[in-house]
Amino acid sequence: MSLKHKRTKACAISMRTKLNVYKRDGGCCIFCGRCGLPEAHVISRAQGGLGCEENIITVCRLCHDKLDNSTERKRMIQVAEDYLKKKYPGWKRENFIFDKLRKDKAKKTISYGNTATQVFSDEFVTDKSQKDKGEPPDGFRFI
């Protein structure tokens, strides 16, 4: 059994998610256009923001510092949310907040264009060998 708490795991950003976000954003900061890294949560980890593509943005170090430590935070979050709404029509803030009582939240499907995609994949693991590989103890794992 893993020592990490379920919320900690849900809020962490996997390498796969970072690669997908980096491609989506073209490797550029969504605020200023400089080279950046896909490591900023729009809904912060402190608020339970999930580590899924729809909650992560690519930002440069300078903008990430501003996002975390300045009076511009509110404006920057609004810009980031508007950006994500363009990428994922139907994007809603409440869908990307960890809620231990609502496991079905992890299985939302969002449609845009003529395609449908899962917000993030979440499957129930019944195989004991899978549970022992650091998966959350309730049997859910985030891919």
Q: Which pLDDT tens digit goes with each residue over 27-58?
A: 999 999 999 999 999 998 888 888 889 999 99
Please report whether residue 1 resides in a domain: no
Token code pair at residue 97? 């907040």
Q: Is the residue at 39 inside a domain?
A: yes
Residue 55 lies in a domain: yes
Q: For residue 143, is it within any domain?
A: no
Integer Cα distance of 72 and 65 in angstroms: 10
* 26 in any annotated domain: yes
Find which of 43-52, 110-119, 126-135 is predicted with most confidence, using mean pLDDT. Answer: 43-52
Instruction: Report the distance separating Cα 54 and Cα 83, nearest Å.
Output: 10
| Residue 22 resides in a domain | yes
Domain that holds residue 125: 6-138
Domain count, the chain: 1
Query: How confident is the prediction for the chain on average, in pLDDT?
Result: 76
